[in-house]
């Protein structure tokens, strides 16, 4: 059972030659990203942290690792450490497999034609909504 959806972890920002930043999270295995500048890096870090915690811990019902104290994180001279706060609620909603029942109205003739073809109304509606919303 998920108790929390808001997490705070230290992230190491390392300046790259092109002016951007690579970002790693020492406490979250495989959690890294990059940004074109500090603002982009902060946004990307928040996004990847939420995605990794949701995918690798919450969705698998595995305990989320404890974040290290920021002053215990080692980093190089071209790096700095800052806290990143994320909320996994959006990912939980987006990737939830829970279905909701919707009632809709269509013309009788269309219903009969679709039934004759043995069409799956639910799947067709989902596909149409995804296409209209440009999501996969």
- pLDDT tens for the chain, 136 residues long, are 456 789 999 999 999 999 999 999 999 999 999 999 999 999 999 999 999 999 999 988 899 999 999 999 999 999 999 999 999 988 888 776 777 788 889 999 999 999 999 999 988 998 998 899 887 7
pLDDT of residue 1: 44
6-95: which CATH topology?
Double Stranded RNA Binding Domain (3.30.160)
pTM listed for this prediction: 0.71
- In total, the chain counts a number of residues equal to 136
pLDDT at 2 (0 to 100): 52
Domain ranges of the chain: 6-95, 99-136
Question: How many CB atoms lie under 10 A from the CB of residue 27?
Answer: 15
**DSSP labels, 71-97:** GG----TTEEEEEEEEETHHHHHHH--
Q: Give the residue carrying structure tokens 């920002």.
A: 13
With b meaning 16 or more CB within 10 Å and e meaning fewer, what string describes 74-107? eeeeebebeebebebeebbeeeeeeeeeeeeeee
């Amino acid at each position: 059972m998920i108790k929390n959806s808001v997490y705070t972890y230290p992230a190491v920002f390392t300046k790259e030659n092109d002016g951007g930043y690579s970002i790693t999270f020492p406490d979250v295995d495989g959690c890294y990203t990059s940004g074109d500048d500090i603002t982009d890096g902060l946004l990307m870090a928040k996004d990847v942290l939420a995605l990794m915690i949701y995918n690798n811990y919450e969705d698998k019902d595995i305990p989320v690792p404890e974040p290290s104290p920021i002053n215990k994180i080692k980093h190089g001279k071209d790096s700095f450490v800052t806290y990143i706060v994320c909320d996994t609620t959006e990912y939980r909603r987006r990737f939830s497999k829970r279905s909701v029942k919707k009632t809709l109205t269509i013309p009788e003739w269309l219903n009969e034609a679709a039934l004759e073809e043995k069409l799956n109304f639910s799947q067709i509606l989902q596909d149409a909504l995804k296409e209209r919303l440009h999501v996969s």
